[in-house]
Structure 1
Amino acid sequence: MAKTSSVEKNNHRRKLVAQYAEKRAALKAIIMDQKLPIEERFRAQLKLAALPRNSARNRIRNRCEVTGRPRAFYRKLRMSRIALRDLGNSGQIPGLVKSSW
């Protein structure tokens, strides 16, 4: 089980990303527009840098929904390999069968 503070920190980052998504997208569009003057693009870059760091999408860590484990994460199921195996063995994931040969 992951530390509760780590899971909460990640949840806080998700909220910040959702809150600042439109503003970041607008500023990035200005920065990438080559037709605009360099001064205006530079001002947009300074505004983007002034936004909170945790509002960047790449700072979100994929974590297991069950345990909060950050590694060995299956995106499709949103859980770690350990939680997947435990739930699969107990028959709580439909269509998942333990392999044996």
Structure 2
Amino acid sequence: MARKSLIQREKKRQKLEQKYHFIRLSARKEIRSARKDISKSREEKQEIHGKIESIPRNSAPIRLHRRCFLTGRSRANYRDFGLSGHILREMVLASLLPGAKRSSW
């Protein structure tokens, strides 16, 4: 079982990512248009970059981790099931997941 503080921190990051998602997208669009537009001055480009830097780091989607649905474990997590490896194996051995084949490794 993962520590409760880590799970809560991950939930906080998810909320921040949703909150700043559209602000981040609009700033990215501005940066792309500024790169294409030669007439923009260097100060205007720095101002646009300042907008992105003012957004909290924890709101970046790259900082999010997938976690096991049952235990909260962040490692060995399978996207298809949303479970960590050892929980997935236990459920397959107990025949709780239809269509999954058992293996004995």
2:61 to 57, 63, 72: 57
The one-letter code sitting in structure 2 at the alignment partner of 1:12 is K
- In 2, the alpha carbon distance for the partners of 1:29 and 1:93 equals 43
| Deviation larger for 36-45 or 50-59 | 36-45
Is 1:17–1:56's contact at 8 Å kept on the other side of the alignment? yes
2:67 corresponds to 1:91: no
Matched residue, 1:8: 8
TM-score, normalisation: structure 2: 0.86
Displacement of 1:66: 1.2
What do you get for the CA RMSD once the two structures are aligned?
A: 1.4
Matched residue, 1:26: 26
Is 1:20–1:55's contact at 8 Å kept on the other side of the alignment? yes
- In 2, the alpha carbon distance for the partners of 1:77 and 1:70 equals 14
2:53 corresponds to 1:45: no
2:95 is paired with a residue whose SS is coil
Matched residue, 2:79: 75
Is 1:64–1:78's contact at 8 Å kept on the other side of the alignment? yes
The one-letter code sitting in structure 1 at the alignment partner of 2:32 is M
- In 2, the alpha carbon distance for the partners of 1:80 and 1:86 equals 10
Matched residue, 1:17: 17
- In 1, the alpha carbon distance for the partners of 2:5 and 2:94 equals 29
Displacement of 1:19: 1.0
Number of residue pairs matched by the alignment = 100
The one-letter code sitting in structure 1 at the alignment partner of 2:22 is E
The one-letter code sitting in structure 2 at the alignment partner of 1:86 is E
The one-letter code sitting in structure 1 at the alignment partner of 2:43 is E
Runs ≥4 residues deviating over 2 A? 38-41
What percent of counterpart residues are identical? 34
